[in-house]
Chains A and B, each alone.
Chain A
């Protein structure tokens, strides 16, 4: 299971790098999504892959009974997913607005903030 997860993370990162090297900003954004999923999987895998029940504490007990999954990385991943979702939504809105105003998605042509004499 660990080997498979590691392989998936590797594939995700490879795909992400491939997409992020593109000039088109949308492709870069898709690469970013893959990369963020790879990071989340890394955290999840770092909590060890065990077959256990959800970490719920029953009535009256101080600690979960029996073997339970590690809840902390799940909480971390949930936080990271939510934050990542917010950031990506913002970036998507920004990309849309940029496309509307700059009329291009090609990051080589986005030179409005650069010195004027260098613009082709």
Chain B
């Protein structure tokens, strides 16, 4: 799309959308948000970039292939589910370690397998949607 206004505006919009997608990713589980929604927003940011500057540049900005991103995300999500084997729980049982407290209300923050799973989902959604979008963009 050859529009100077859109191209110039896209640069700001893309960065904002992408940061917002990370915000949604980190906010998930206890509040509305999470890997799926974050991944969709992240994908939208790159699609806007692809519309403004062409999918070639969007691919270059992503640096890695979207298909690879999706499959790595699948691996990350699976690994996050498998972590619970070390704690004697069934697959996908969330493992939580609270720093500075013992529950959601009191702790400063937590280290947990649920966020890792969400990151995996984020990558799957981002990679999956971008591989489709780029493929359709390049086929025409």
The residues of A with any CB-CB pair to B shorter than 8 Å are 56, 59-60, 82, 86, 89, 92-93, 96
Provide the bound-state CA to CA distance between A86 and B133, in Å: 12
Q: Decide: A93 and B105 in contact? CB cutoff 8 A.
A: no
Is B135 among interface residues, defined by CB-CB distance under 8 A? yes
Q: Decide: A89 and B132 in contact? CB cutoff 8 A.
A: yes
Looking at the assembled complex, report how far the CB atom of A120 sits from the nearest CB atom of chain B, in whole angstroms: 30
Given pairs A60-B105, A93-B135, 10 additional interface contacts (CB within 8 A) = A56-B32, A59-B104, A82-B36, A86-B128, A89-B132, A92-B136, A93-B132, A93-B136, A93-B139, A96-B139
Count B interface residues, CB 8 Å.
9
Q: Is the interface of B mostly helix, strand, loop or mixed?
A: helix
Provide the bound-state CA to CA distance between A92 and B32, in Å: 32
| Nearest chain A residue, comparing its CB with the CB of B128 | A86
Looking at the assembled complex, report how far the CB atom of A80 sits from the nearest CB atom of chain B, in whole angstroms: 14
Chain A residues lying within 8 Å of B139, measured Cβ to Cβ, are 93, 96
Q: A-facing mask of B6-49, CB < 8 A → 1, else 0?
A: 00000000000000000000000000100010000000000000
Q: Decide: B105 and A59 in contact? CB cutoff 8 A.
A: yes
Chain B residues lying within 8 Å of A89, measured Cβ to Cβ, are 132
Q: Which of B87-140 contact A (CB under 8 A)?
A: 104-105, 128, 132, 135-136, 139
Chain A residues lying within 8 Å of B128, measured Cβ to Cβ, are 86
| Nearest chain A residue, comparing its CB with the CB of B131 | A89
Provide the bound-state CA to CA distance between A89 and B135, in Å: 11
The 10 closest A-B pairs by CB, nearest first: A89-B132, A96-B139, A93-B135, A59-B105, A86-B128, A93-B136, A60-B105, A93-B132, A93-B139, A56-B32
Chain B residues lying within 8 Å of A59, measured Cβ to Cβ, are 104-105
Looking at the assembled complex, report how far the CB atom of B37 sits from the nearest CB atom of chain A, in whole angstroms: 11
Provide the bound-state CA to CA distance between A56 and B135, in Å: 38
Chain B residues lying within 8 Å of A60, measured Cβ to Cβ, are 105
Chain A residues lying within 8 Å of B105, measured Cβ to Cβ, are 59-60
Provide the bound-state CA to CA distance between A92 and B132, in Å: 10
Chain A residues lying within 8 Å of B132, measured Cβ to Cβ, are 89, 93
| Nearest chain B residue, comparing its CB with the CB of A78 | B36
Provide the bound-state CA to CA distance between A56 and B105, in Å: 17
Chain A residues lying within 8 Å of B32, measured Cβ to Cβ, are 56
Provide the bound-state CA to CA distance between A93 and B132, in Å: 9
| Nearest chain B residue, comparing its CB with the CB of A90 | B132
